[in-house]
Amino acid sequence: MLKNYYQILGLSPDCNKDDIKKAYRIYATKFHPDKQNNDKFFEERFKEIKEAYDILIDDSKRAQFDSQYKTSNYSSSNFNQYRNKSSSVDDLLSELERKDREKKQKERNKRKKVFYTSKDLVLNGLYVNCDGRSYELTDYDKSTIRKDDNSSFVFIGIVMIIIGIITIAFFIGIFLLLFGIYALFFREYYVVLIGKQGDIPLIKGRKAKMRKISRLINRAIEENDK
């Protein structure tokens, strides 16, 4: 059976090239398999849409199709079949547009919801931004904290202890000794994003603060999945 390329693009036979281009952009965008998780139905529809566009946008191919179309003696049942098909496609297109609007509205709402903000890190319902880079929460499974074993405080602590021992006879020596012991055992922690693409260290600082930020990131990830 001869395909009705006008019906596939939701056009009438007297449409012009601008109408064809506009219809193709709309249908191709909405039915592109990449936007529909490579669903088989959308793959077939996209092929039909591309085929219809290639025929109708080319003057010679369109003239040949028009000739075949007029002489193909379409029955009333065939016409109704194509009309119903076009109607169902339009309904599906409207449904996709509605879902797209809802998705965009949800994204706007999530973007407005701020979980944490500081000069070092900003976290909303969609992204976490750190050091000028944004990480989309949907790309990550969770957040955790990890100890920074390479902290410079260890070296500082050792130096302060040595100086404190040398100057122990003076008050400053006692102060340096105590500070050195504190620095020796002081540890900083990283906030880390964990995902399939790999682990991303964000900021580091005191354990309590990093744990708080990590919990907020996990909360944002959980809400993003809803």
Same domain, 32 and 101: yes
Same domain, 202 and 143: yes
Closest CA relative to residue 190, chosen from 175, 211, 176, 174: 211
pLDDT for position 104? 80
pLDDT for position 180? 63
pLDDT for position 90? 62
Same domain, 77 and 133: no
Same domain, 186 and 214: yes
Same domain, 126 and 215: yes
Same domain, 53 and 149: no
Same domain, 106 and 11: yes
Strands (E), 120-215: 121-124, 127-130, 133-136, 142-148, 188-194, 200-205
Closest CA relative to residue 78, chosen from 150, 6, 145, 2: 2
Q: Is 137 helix (H, G, I), strand (E, B) or coil?
A: helix
Per the structure block, which two tokens stand in for 45? 């529809």
Same domain, 106 and 129: no
The parts of the chain modelled with pLDDT lower than 70 are 1, 36-39, 72-93, 96, 149-160, 164, 169-171, 174-186, 226
pTM, to two decimals = 0.48
The CATH number of whichever domain residue 95 belongs to comes to 1.10.287.110
Q: Is 4 helix (H, G, I), strand (E, B) or coil?
A: coil
Picking from 56, 78, 111, the residue at the C-terminal end of a domain is 111
Same domain, 90 and 136: no
Picking from 111, 144, 172, the residue at the C-terminal end of a domain is 111
pLDDT for position 75? 41
Q: Is 34 helix (H, G, I), strand (E, B) or coil?
A: helix
Per the structure block, which two tokens stand in for 206? 């005191």
Picking from 82, 111, 140, the residue at the C-terminal end of a domain is 111
- For helices 40-57 and 59-71, what crossing angle results, to 10°? 100
φ, ψ (nearest 5 deg) of residue 74: -60, 130
Instruction: Give CA separation, 218 vs 56, 124, 211, in Å.
Output: 52, 12, 11
Q: State how many domains the chain has.
A: 2
pLDDT for position 76? 44
Same domain, 65 and 140: no
Same domain, 99 and 134: no
Domain of residue 129, residue span: 117-224
Same domain, 21 and 50: yes
